[in-house]
Amino acid sequence: MSTDLLQRGKAIKLAIFDVDGVLTDGRLYFLEDGSEFKTFNTLDGQGIKMLMASGVQTAIISGRKTPVVERRAQNLGIPHLYQGREDKLVVLDELLGQLNLSYEQVAYLGDDLPDLPVIRRVGLGMAVANAAAFVREHAHGITQARGGEGAAREFCELILRAQGSLEAAHAAYL
């Protein structure tokens, strides 16, 4: 893990996640009745819970809108959920105004072009391993794990490690 990523992670007060391709594997599943389902990784969920327990706020910004994501956010206790919002930078600015935070205090994990403006603006902008190549080129860092396969957990643990909270997060389960 680079010292640059750890240095960037020290200042983080808010971690934001994209959904499709980050918290999921990026596939969209539609049933005959038009309903949709997604699969989420429990490792990612636990990472988000540990991050919140350490005092870092969390948010989801997704270009798509689905009740499945609302349910997942509620299950994890993620307080800031924005769905159906294509211009993620506008949402970021709204959220920073509400929380009185600066760009440098935000970490973002994304995978595709709609995530790029936020990735480039925040203090710690990361891409999942299977993100679009152009997005990976412009991110501060790239997870080893693919979206939906533990990338969010890796991202959360990087922030916890940078802030000296990872061992305490693990010890809480001993």
**Which amino acid is residue 81, in one-letter code?**
L
**Are the CB atoms for 110 and 131 separated by under 8 Å?**
yes
Residue 1 confidence (pLDDT) above 90: no
The encoded tokens of residue 102 equal 């600066």
Tell me the residue ranges of DSSP E strands in the chain.
14-17, 29-30, 36-37, 57-61, 80-82, 106-110, 124-127, 141-142
Average pLDDT (144-172) is 95
What's the CATH number where 164 sits? 3.40.50.1000
Give residue 32's domain range.
Answer: 3-172
The encoded tokens of residue 28 equal 């969209």
Q: How many domains does the chain have?
A: 1
pTM greater than 0.85? yes
Paired sense of beta strands 106-110 and 80-82, if any: unpaired
pLDDT digits (tens, 9 = 90+) for 71-99: 999 999 999 999 999 899 999 999 999 99
Q: What is the largest distance, in Å, between two alpha-carbon atoms of the chain?
A: 49
Q: Is the dihedral of CA 112, 37, 149, 4 positive or negative?
A: positive
**Are the CB atoms for 135 and 111 separated by under 8 Å?**
yes
pLDDT digits (tens, 9 = 90+) for 19-55: 999 999 999 888 899 888 899 999 999 999 999 999 9
**111 is an annotated ligand-binding site residue:** yes
